[in-house]
Structure formats: structure tokens, C-alpha cells
Amino acid sequence: MAFKPANNIQDLQYFGEFGGVNPSISDSSTYTFLSAKTMFDTFEGNADGCYLYSRHSSPSNLYLGEALAAMEGTETANVTASGMGAITPVIMQLCGAGDHIVSSRTIYGGTYAFLKNFTPRFNIETSFVDITKLDVVEATITKNTKVLYCESVSNPLLEVADIKGLSELAKKHNLKLVVDNTFSPLSISPVQLGADVVIHSLTKFINGSSDTVGGVVCGTQEFINDLRNVNDGACMLLGSTMDSLRAASVLKNLRTLHIRMQQHSKNGMYLAKKFESLGLKTVYPGLESHPSHQLFKSMMNPQYGFGGMLTIDVGSLDKANALMELMQEKNLGYLAVSLGFYKTLFSAPGSSTSSEIPEDEQAEMGLSDGLIRFSIGLDADIERTFEMMKACMVELSILDDKKQAELI
């Protein structure tokens, strides 16, 4: 039987100490032991089910981790204080001095900056490639390569990684395939397609209420144990631990993720089609015109759709800024970075979230000045939203002359 994500979340059952329908929150940094011997065994990693200290693990974090592992179909997971707090320990756990990483060149700005500017201090080098070209990826692998790194749907250009193809390369060359699935929770299940480790920034769709940062690493029990090891585990030693109160809060939001993703995807698809019909250069994996539309279709869990992220190119940064300001004034969304909120969020990546990437490299990867990235909200009346957005575009003469004349 095919693996069905989210169904496993619905089947999870944890009660609170007093039979509450939500698990009790573990509001403790440290834990008592009935015997000194058990404390020693726990330090050695030999006492299952015993808690030691909350930077290592806590009941609330384990509940959230298990729910996310159920979503991704991995053995287990470890939640972290932020998405970057998941990405950086995974890289540092898998790589040491002299090692090499092959990474997609279109990735989250913070991840790019970490790999480009920070890890070289530890003599870890990264080659950035066009991840959609498997032959280029393979040609870039060296005898020192340890990790293939990509986002299933990339930020901000919405390129789609061929996870099956990449996992075959990873197996052939004995590498770990690490996939950041932040843009496509539920829609794509990277481990089912052969990835070794899946990361999310919980800050985005999964928590969905823009009230916290958070992250998760989903993988095998062995890898997650390694990350938590008191002697050499990167999560344990770098200390990017999520707080228990927050873990309990994210878990409650996670339960509605499947419904929210369906609405984000429905609204995203509607607006993408409409924007394209206005003659705007629109990128959305659900459009036939997307270069990887078929690939996305071949990988997706269809009931969750093509996601809530889309981009349009309005020609120049000035026009992009004017449009975003006007849309905000009309209460169509917020001029803000991040994604996955109930309100639509828009930003110009070239001057914001991807500003870590030098301008010449931005140009080379097709990241133009007039690009606006939208995280489409949960609007109940998306038809009205579109009509109002169209009116903003007409007011600012964003559309080509012929369309403009037609619409006035």
C-alpha cells in the first residue's frame, strides 16, 4: 500500500497526565532519577525512555518529533529551535575538515550563507550547482563529497529537485541526500522518494501562525541518536533546542496542516493561472508552463496540491515595490518575508531573503530585480482577492499595453 502522509498524524494518540486530550507540557529542564545507576546509563545512552536534561530531549519535544516523523515516514525526528538550528547541526554532523558538499545553488539565503561563508572556516567546501541537471550534479561529486543538499521546491525560484534521481546518485557515490522540504510539506515526502534526511523550518507552513521559529530533522533512529549524543552530537553540543512550551504549541498547529495545505494549494493554483492569463511571467509548479511540472506531478501526494508559493516578474524593483505597497494598503496581504501564514505575504527576494547571494550570481540563476515571491494565504474568497490584485496592477500600469488597454 502506498504511504499516506498525514494519516499517520491522525492516528497518533497521546493523553495528558490526567487524561487531558492534549499531552501535558513538560515544564522542566532537568529530571530526577530514582537510582544513581540509571543516571549513569542515561548519560551513556543506554536507558531508553529516561530523560536527562532538556537540551538533550524532553517529553514535549519527543511528541512533536514523533508526529513529524509520522508525517515524513521516518523512524524518528528531532525538533530544534529554528530551521537554521536544524540545518547547521545536520551539516556539521555529516561533514568534517576536508569534506565536500554538492548543493543546489537556489537555496534559502541563510543556508547559502552558511555553506558559502561559514563552513569553509572548518575546511568544508561546497560546490553550488543547477540541481535540475543530474549530469552536472554527478560531475561535481569528488572523492571527498559527503552530502548532496537541496530543497524539494527551491527558494525563491521554485525549481523542483528530482529526489529519486538524486537519491540514486547518492547511493551510487555513498553520499547522504539531505532535503529541505519547507516549501512542500505533505505534498512531497522526500524520504519515500529516497532521501536520507529531511529538514523543515517549522516556522513556515507547518506551524503556520507566524508566531515562532522552529525546525526539525527527520531521519533514522541511528542518525537522530548521533545528533543527540552527549559526546559528539551536533544538536546536543551546538544547543539549538526547542523549548517545551513551544513544542506543545507547534504540535497543536500541526494537526490542521493538511487542511491548510489544501487551501494554500487551491488558492495558489487559482492565482497562478489568473496571473499567467494576464500575461505576467508566473512561476508555479502547478502550471503546465513550469519546466518541472511533470516531475512535481510524478513525486507529489496529489490531495495536497502544488503548494502555496508562487512568483511573478513585474519587470523592475521599482514596480515590484510599488505593487507590494499598494497590495498591502488594500489589505491583500503583508509586505513581509517568511511564508505559510493565513494572510498572503509578499517580498522581493533579490533585495531581501536572497540578498546574501551576490548580484552577479543572482542574475546567473535567473533571480531578477522585478521578482515578487508570494506565499498565498488561506483567503476564503480568492476570486475577490484576484480582482483586487488585478486592479492594483492596472492602477500601476504593470501589465503590458495590450492587456492594460483591454482592462481599463
Ligand X SMILES: *Cc1c(COP(=O)(O)O)cnc(C)c1O
CA distance 102 to 325: 38
Give the shortest CB-147-to-ligand X separation in angstroms: 16
**Segment interacting with ligand X (CB under 6 A) among 107-115, 116-124, 126-134, 308-316:** 107-115
**Secondary structure letter of residue 160 according to DSSP:** B
- In the complex, residue closest to ligand X by CB: 83
Report which of 31, 69, 38 is spatially closest to residue 53, judged by C-alpha positions. Answer: 31
Through-space distance between the first and last CA atoms of the chain, rounded to whole angstroms:
54
Give the one residue of 23, 59, 83, 305 binding ligand X; rule: CB under 6 A. 83
- Residue 151 binds ligand X (CB under 6 A): yes
DSSP string over 26-53: ---SB---SSHHHHHHHHTT--TT---B
Beta-strand ranges (E) seen in 143-213 are 145-151, 176-180, 197-201
Give the shortest CB-356-to-ligand X separation in angstroms: 12
Helix (H, G, I), strand (E, B) or coil at 215: strand
Number of residues that bind ligand X (CB under 6 A): 16
The residue among 207 and 301 lying less far from ligand X, judged by its C-beta, is 207
User: In angstroms, how far apart are the furthest CA atoms of the chain?
Assistant: 81
Residue numbers 178-207 binding ligand X by CB under 6 A = 180, 182-183, 201, 203-204
Query: Which secondary-structure segment (H or E) carries 243?
Result: none
336 contacts: CB under 8 Å, gap ≥ 6: 345, 346, 347
CA distance 393 to 94: 47
Give the one residue of 93, 119, 155, 189 binding ligand X; rule: CB under 6 A. 155
- Residue 99 binds ligand X (CB under 6 A): no
Give the one residue of 51, 63, 108, 114 binding ligand X; rule: CB under 6 A. 108
Give the shortest CB-279-to-ligand X separation in angstroms: 29
Helix (H, G, I), strand (E, B) or coil at 237: helix
- Residue 215 binds ligand X (CB under 6 A): yes
The residue among 114 and 386 lying less far from ligand X, judged by its C-beta, is 114
The residue among 351 and 404 lying less far from ligand X, judged by its C-beta, is 351
Helix (H, G, I), strand (E, B) or coil at 174: coil
Task: Please report, as a single letter, which amino acid is at residue 350.
Answer: G
The residue among 28 and 292 lying less far from ligand X, judged by its C-beta, is 292
Where does this chain bind ligand X (CB under 6 A)?
82-84, 108, 110-111, 151, 155, 180, 182-183, 201, 203-204, 213, 215
